[in-house]
Structure 1
Amino acid sequence: MANSITSSPTATTTPTDHASPFPTTKLPKLSSLHHLDQPLLPGLPDHIAQLCLSLVHPSSLYSVCRSWRRLIYSPSFPPYLSLYALLSSSSSSSQSAQSQSDAVDFFTFDPISSSWHLLPPPPPDPPLRVLLHHPSFISRNLPIQSVSVSGNLILLAATTHNFLPALSHPLIFSPLSTAWALGPPLATPRRWCAAGAVQGVVYVASGMGSHFFTDTARSVEKWDLHLQDKNDGKPRNFGWMWERKSGLKDGRFSREAIDAIGWRGKLCMVNVRGDAAKEGAVYDVEKDAWEEMPEGMLAGWRGPVAAMDEEVMYALDEAKGALRKYVPERDAWDNILESERLRGAQQMAAGAGRVCVVCRGGARIVVVDVVASLRRSWVVDVPAGLEAVAVHILPRMNRLGFGFPMLEDSTSSE
């Protein structure tokens, strides 16, 4: 399909017919599809027809007929993975439009229809008010820190216009239920912290609250989402809360917002973004102990980093535009590809064989197939007038019956 994250390789790559953007997941329990306008397959009951059609890639079903198109977005069809993005108005907005430029919207890019869709808005109480652009920070945006955990998008930290922590509770979006919810209250709401997840558990470390305090800058908290399942899905049940863990040795990780990368049962992070000299730390979640980051890992941490299924770590050298894979046996990074458009990369996510990179300025997202024998990459354009703050890879959203607005196709390939 042209102009799609599914099959829009660059001119230097080899296209594959109906190449999957991400593998589909396990087929959920079947549900009735009697609301469809016509039988899925004439002569077969819908539940049998669905079993047959679930073996066909969604991009093939999408272009055949309306009933099949509706099927792939129904709750009973295996949810393929999609791109989710936090988008804001362009930082080039005029001063008179500054308040509007601080608005954050949540979008998902459907790789099958090659279109952006607006997510339902977060709950109005408490309202989400964040500061992204400020005259004192001309060359950069103030961060909004988010993670993807167990198929959910979770907002953890941001800054208000008064330079205070914007979130007292995590804000959770579930693509499958298309609903927002509040997580347990943070013991210490913070900003400019380290945030990450490993094995379905969310961690925040260091940072600051309204002011810098050494105790906050050294503290570590964890929130186990699995406890909600054990409590019959009721978030107010006892046990679904933040738990204090072993702290950092000092407050050097509170200098800026940091992505803590979940990898093989550990959280890996550095205290400074980019190509500057930095310190690294690794947290062993089983031992509840901090250790030094291996020298080779630290040396190659020169930009955004992400881990594929918490097993394979990828890093971008933002100065050279080089994407690399970490090889723990040699404590070294192997080059995957180098591209001019990856220079100045701001953030990235990894999942199901793809690495998605927010390019300089946030107007484009580069998708790289890192498991294909011939490296493929293509570009997804962000809707005009917006820029990407962060991207995540999560199950596609159920759109039937919700009427989410759909923007015109805003993707391109190179």
Structure 2
Amino acid sequence: MGARMAQRLVAAGRAVTVWNRTPREIPGAATASSPAEAVAGADVVVTMLSDPDAVLEVVRAALPGLRPGTTLIEMSTIGPDAVVRVRALLPAGVALVDAPVLGSVQPAAEGTLQILAGGSPEDLDRVEDVLAVFGRVRRVGGPGAGAAMKLAVMSALVPAQVMLAENLAYAAALGVDRAAYLDVLATTPLGPLVERLRPVVESGPPETRYALGLAAKDLRLATEHPGRMQTIAAAARDRLTAASAAGLADRDLTAIIGAVGGSGPGTPVLKINPPSVPPTNGRYCHAVRYGDLLFVSGQVALDENGEVVGPGDMTRQSEYVMENLGRILADQGSSYDRILHIRTFLTDMDRLPEYAAVRARHIPKDPPASTTVEVPRLFRPGLLIEVEVMAAVS
């Protein structure tokens, strides 16, 4: 977004200096080595960053280069509280306009963004021509009003997309044809949103325009205050946060259809290594998720240093293995009672009762499909048991 907006300014004939946390060059713009160097001598400074922490960090770094008379236009989605914190950092002679945008990468390149501008009338007058380079400027109120409007709008738009993802899964469970379902929805007031999602259902998520991880961040900002009742937005936030943790943070928001809606052409194959269990040796991953199915690799009693836990102790090793399985399942929103199949390898079938007693404590009733076999040895001397599972993800 920021790069394309800088290109718009260059094309408009502005003298532009850029700085990016990941160094990159913009044709026609000077490249600074630091935020302070980038803002030195500037009449207008524009920030477009990922979250409040990033904005505050960059503004602090830019302070030595800011001079009285400069106007900072903060265009990230950070919420009104963070705008107040940015204002507190700025010298008295530096003005602040908060102007987050509606639109993604392509509108940024075309100059067709919607700019939700908040600030004093004098400050907005001063930067109106700069903002107009990016798209249509809508003045929504005083300082902080732009940031507040953006969160309010995203609190409606993002949960609507998550809701449609869940409803696609629901329709499929009822045996409803997906294409026909979308055709019917397209005739309702949801039509424009349905048309945005239709290509995802038919051929998979597109190039990232609005990252799923950023959508989760936006809803966290919108729901972080207990006094602001946002129960539906909070539920969508949790869905997106789980999808981000599962590896979809950099995918387009529309990838939530694959994460929520089961398997299909757009469903990603996610390789999962939760930090709650010891790492693998790098030659495999702890689990693979495809839609609503989770395949968990064989778990053994090895600690974070690769040492055998409880050598010769079947009960101790069984407990360790079951605990790790539980952590991996929980990481993906599943649990012991959603295991579909469990496969166990024992080096001594005579010790099955010891393992069975441990397993019964974790899976006490309605057991899943199960296979248990005896093997002459496992891959590390001292290991007595290995357990793998396939589970459903709620």
Q: TM-score, normalised by structure 2?
A: 0.22
Structure with the bigger percentage of strand = 1
Q: Which has the higher contact order (CA 8 A, sep 6+)?
A: 1
Larger radius of gyration: 2
